[in-house]
Amino acid sequence: MIKDLLLLTIFPGAMALAAATDLFTMTVPNRIALVLVAGFLVAAPLVGLGWAEIGLHFGLAIAALVVTFTLFSFGWIGGGDAKLFAATCLWVGPAAILNYSVFSALIGGALTVALLFWRGVPLPAMLISQDWLVRLHDPKEGVPYGIALAAAGLLVYPDTLFMVALGG
């Protein structure tokens, strides 16, 4: 019962928080990635992952962090996005990492196109009092890519060992 509750709340809750925080503040706080890492360390043994599998998940997450921090160094993504992507890879593991990457790119691309379109039209006067909308509408601002990363993570989560463990 506790295991099921943890598996149904830690990852999905962190993804929802990451998306909402990025939407409203254009940042993904480090504490979300840290919660994902700590949550993985608690959840992995509960679903029967051994040391070798946990090591593989960590290896993939570290490789993802290297790639995403390279992208960050070029200014193509934010640091919070890089850490969120890597922490999510820890959870999705080798079985879903390709789907997660593809979904992240597709959703992120769609989000970017939608924002470019929206930023091309004037912001309605009644929305000017909402700082987060003004920031989101500003063409000098980036894209809250944490939304795409969170959505992609939630799309692939049902295919992970964690959700499969709920059926058993």
Q: What is the pLDDT of residue 46?
A: 93
Quote the number of domains for the chain.
1
pLDDT at residue 2 in the model:
85
Number of H helices, E strands in the chain: 7, 0
| Model confidence, pTM | 0.94
Give the confidence band of 3 by pLDDT, cuts at 50, 70, 90. confident
- 97 in Cβ contact with 79 (< 8 Å): no
Taking only the tens place, the pLDDT of each residue in 98-153 is: 999 999 999 999 999 999 999 999 999 999 999 999 999 999 999 999 999 999 99
Residues ≥6 apart with Cβ < 8 Å to 125: none
At 168 the pLDDT is 55
Quote the domain boundaries for residue 70. 2-167
Q: Kindly give, in sequence order, each residue whose CB lies less than 8 Å from that of residue 79, ignoring residues fewer than 6 positions away.
A: 69, 72
Question: What is the tens place of the pLDDT at every residue in 32-79?
Answer: 999 999 999 999 999 999 999 999 999 999 999 999 999 999 998 999
Residues 93/160, Cβ–Cβ less than 8 Å: yes
